[in-house]
Structure 1
Amino acid sequence: MSDIIKKLPYPIAGLMLACATLGNLLASYGEIYRYFFGAISACILVLIVAKLIIMPKSLMAAFENPVLASVLPTFSMGLMVLSTYISSFNFLASMLWFFAILIHLLLIFVFTKKYIFNFNIKAVFPSYFVVYVVIVVASISAPALGHQNIGQYLFWFGLLSYLILLPIVLYRVVKIKSMPPPALPTFVILTAPASLCLAGYISSFPHPNNVLISFLAGLAFVMLGAVATKMPPLLKSEFYPSYSAFTFPFVITAVAFKGLAAMSGFYGLIIFAMVLEVWAALIVIYVLCRYMMYLLSIEFPIVKSKKNQAS
């Protein structure tokens, strides 16, 4: 177990966030699905905390890499989603929720000081959205804990951050390109912010504006299409801890369109949301298996066959 903890990469926090969110997404099909994925998320949380205790210096080392540093906030947001699993214990859940927000704000401060105040366009990756926009997860979880007003404020912060970062990140991805292989899976994160903002807006605002809904839904759909075209080669690539970037973006996109379908009642949108749910569940299970094989040092069959062909 100690070997697994030492080998555990911090980007697995993205998988932790995705599992917790997927559990809530699938709860409408039965509580068993919710608690199954919630339990997996909780297990990952325990492993991450164990690593923080055993190897505290590893966290400081992670901040030296812009990709690793920018995905660390998935840990705090994972805590926030997990707090909804204990919402019946309102005080305890609220304390965990506020604690998660404080951790996230601290990570924003540290990241901004290190990478924004010393800006370098080549150090910009789609994972920058995680630092500033993924806090909108609070807007989705806030109503369950009775903190809807706070969720609304954090939505506006996340949306403004998204609009500021979007042209910068797109310029980096489209014009400069040359992303190192371990960072390539972060491309999938492009589909997350618009969907997250859409889901947060629907959740925390009782009377949403149709113009803003249409704008976010259209942007989410375009980003989903752009990312979908890149998925086949990305899934065939060598495993990197950044594989966790495949998970939450698709899960939150399914959450967003499921909420939009429920609000509109449009049959075609309902079917589309169901397809997204299936895909989100499959990709989370796939990445979970890849992580387990990585941690247990089991070689993936496709990778093994490629090595045999090369030899």
Structure 2
Amino acid sequence: MGDIIKKTPYPIAGLMLACATLGNLLAIYGSFFRYLFGALAFCILALILIKVIVMPKSLVTAFENPVVASVLPTFSMGLMVLSTYFTSFILFANVMWFSAVLLHLILMAVFTFKYILNFDIKAVFPSYFVVYVGLVVGSISAPAIGQQSIGQVIFWFGFLSYLVLLPFVLYRVIKIKAMQPPALPTLVILTAPASLCLAGYISSFPQPNNALIYFLSGLAFVMFVAVAIKIPNLLKSEFYPSFSAFTFPFVITAVAFKNLSSINDFYGYMIFARFLEIWATIMVIYVVIRYLMFLLSLEFPIAQTKKKQAN
């Protein structure tokens, strides 16, 4: 067990977030799916908490890497989603949700002080969206615990942050490029912010503006297609902890278009939403398997084949 804790990377928090969100997404098909993926999320939560307690210095070290530091807030995002699993105990759910929002703000402040105030465009990655736009998970989860008004404020913060960050991230990805292999999976995060804002907007605003919905859904669709084209090549790489990036962006895109299809004017998106559900579920299961094999020091079959070919 000690070896597993030691090997547990902090980016696995992204997988925790994805599992918790996917559990809620698939709950319509039966409570089994919600409990299954919810249980996986809680298991990952336990691993992360144990590592922080047993190896506190590892958290300090994590902040020295801009990619890892920028995905750490997926932990607080995951806590926001997991709080919705306790709506039967509304006081506990509220405490958990507010604590998660506060933690996210703290992580955001530390990241801003360390990387934004010492800005270097070469240190910018798509995962920067996680730090600022990621707070919009609060807009999605807020209505479930009776905090819709706060969810609306969070949405506007996240949406404006997205508009500010987008030019810098696109410039970094398109013009500068030169991203190291371990950071390449973060390209998938490009599909998350617009979808997250779309899902948060629909969730926290009873009467959403159609113009804003068209803007966000169009941007979310374009980003999804752009990322989906690159997925086959990205999946061919060896395993990195950043594989977590293959999960939540697709899950939240599925959530966004499912929420969108529930609005009468946008019912036609239902088929696309169903496709996204299947896509996101496959990606989460795939990454769960890859992480299990990594933590248990087992070789993935494809990796074994590549080694044989290389020899």
Query: How does the TM-score come out when normalised to structure 2?
Result: 0.99
SS of alignment partner, residue 229 of structure 1: helix
Moved over 6 A (4+): none
Could you tell me how far apart the structure 2 residues matched to 1:19 and 1:302 are? 24
- Specify the alignment match of 1:35 in structure 2: 35
In 2, Cα distance between equivalents of 1:216 and 1:206: 17
- Deviation readout 1:123-171 (Å, 9 max, x if unpaired): 0000000000010000000000000010000000000000000000000
Tell me the residue number matched to 2:175: 175
Query: What is the one-letter code of the residue matched to 1:179?
Result: M
| Residue in 2 that maps onto 1:151 | 151
Question: SS in structure 1 opposite 2:263?
Answer: helix
Alignment of 1:115-264 (within 5 A): 115-264=115-264
Q: Give a deviation string over 1:66-95, Cα, whole Å, max 9, x none.
A: 000000000001011000000110000000
Change (3 A) 1:131 1:266: closer
Distance 1:304 1:175 in 2: 35
Aligned to 2:301: 301
**In the alignment, is the contact (CA less than 8 A) between 2:260 and 2:267 conserved in 1?**
no
Is 1:45 the counterpart of 2:42 in the alignment? no
Superposition map of 1:65-104 within 5 A: 65-104=65-104
DSSP 3-state at the match of 2:10? coil
- In structure 1, C-alpha distance between the alignment counterparts of 2:295 and 2:284, rounded to whole Å: 16
Q: Distance in 2 between matches of 1:206 and 1:309?
A: 56
Corresponding position of 2:13: 13
Letter in 2 for 1:2: G
Q: Distance in 2 between matches of 1:135 and 1:177?
A: 27
Q: What amino acid does structure 1 have at the position aligned with 2:221?
A: F
Between the two proteins, the alignment pairs up a number of residues equal to: 311
Which amino acid in structure 1 is aligned with residue 102 of structure 2? Answer: L
User: What is the deviation of 1:265?
Assistant: 6.1
Equivalent-residue separation in structure 1 for 2:258 and 2:31 (angstroms): 18
The unaligned stretches of length 5 or more in structure 1 are none
Q: Which amino acid aligns with 2:186?
A: T
Q: Which position in structure 2 is the counterpart of 1:276?
A: 276
Residues 262-289 of structure 1: CA distance to partner in whole angstroms, max 9, x if unpaired? 1136554111100000010000000000
**Secondary structure in structure 1 of the residue aligned to 2:237:** coil
Residues 97-116 of structure 1 aligned to structure 2 (within 5 Å)? 97-116=97-116
Partner of 1:59: 59
Residue identity matched to 2:289:
C
% identity of equivalent residues: 73
Q: Distance in 2 between matches of 1:121 and 1:267?
A: 41
Whole-Å Cα distance in 2 between the matches of residues 244 and 301 of structure 1? 19
Residue number in structure 2 paired with 1:287: 287
Q: Which amino acid aligns with 2:307?
A: K
